[in-house]
Amino acid sequence: MDFYRVDAALRKELWNSIKKGTVDAAEPDAIKKRVQRASQTKITVAEQMLLELLVYDSELQSLILPTLEPSDYESLALAPVFSALIVLHDRGEEPTMDGLLQEVGDDEAAQDFIPLLLMTEAKRAQGEDIEGVLHEAENCVVSLRLMAINNHISELLREQAHAEQAGDVNLANQLAKESIELAKIKREFQQRLAQL
């Protein structure tokens, strides 16, 4: 439950149902769905802003999407929307409701977000200079990259704690070195963000 970041209220409810024996054979799927929903990542300002900047601007897509790495968005709530946008852009297709929904599949968060995304207005008027939105988009990408690094550092620290508890000193040391290297990269990105 710690790994999935299940909050205290749901954790207590699940433990009480197990203690009381009120969990029946049909319930594991329902419990699994509740834990998944509770542990889902919330939509961040940076990912929402970046998608709003990109959705109607094919020129900006051409500049920003090639710079995105899967690790920048794969742990985000709207990762399927980023993937869908990249696929459609690579095919030379405009992002439409049907196209995006088809690409995100059955991801509920993405399905709920796409209509809202398409109701937003273009962030740049036709023929307007791209520099302003490009700067905003680059800031968003750096923010997403920092979040991904923070998440990875947290995972490494959890794994390191488990390795130490298991008495695996070599693995714990290796994980500590990896987290130190990532912390250095994080500082570089923070400096870059401060300069933008």
**Per-residue pLDDT tens for 39-83?**
556 888 999 999 999 999 999 999 999 999 998 898 888 999 999
Q: 36-70: b or e for each residue (b if 16 or more CB lie within 10 Å)?
A: eebeeeebbebbbbbbbbbbbbeebbeebbeebee
The C-alpha atoms of residue 32 and residue 40 are separated, in whole angstroms, by 12
pTM for the model stands at 0.71
Distances (CA, A) of 157 to 7, 101, 176, 190: 20, 36, 7, 20
Report pLDDT digits (tens) over 124-140. Answer: 888 889 998 999 999 89
Amino acid at 71: S
Across 99-117, average pLDDT: 91
**Residue with the two structure tokens 């109701």:** 119
Beta-carbon contacts of 109 under 8 Å, excluding residues fewer than 6 positions away, are: 40, 43, 77, 78, 80
The C-alpha atoms of residue 1 and residue 153 are separated, in whole angstroms, by 19
Closest CA to 36 of 14, 16, 15, 69: 14
Q: What structural domains and CATH numbers belong to the chain?
A: 45-195 (1.10.860)
Q: What's 122's DSSP letter?
A: P
CB-side neighbour CA atoms (13 Å) of 3: 5
Q: Locate 3 and state its tokens.
A: 């790994």
Residue 37 confidence (pLDDT) above 60:
no
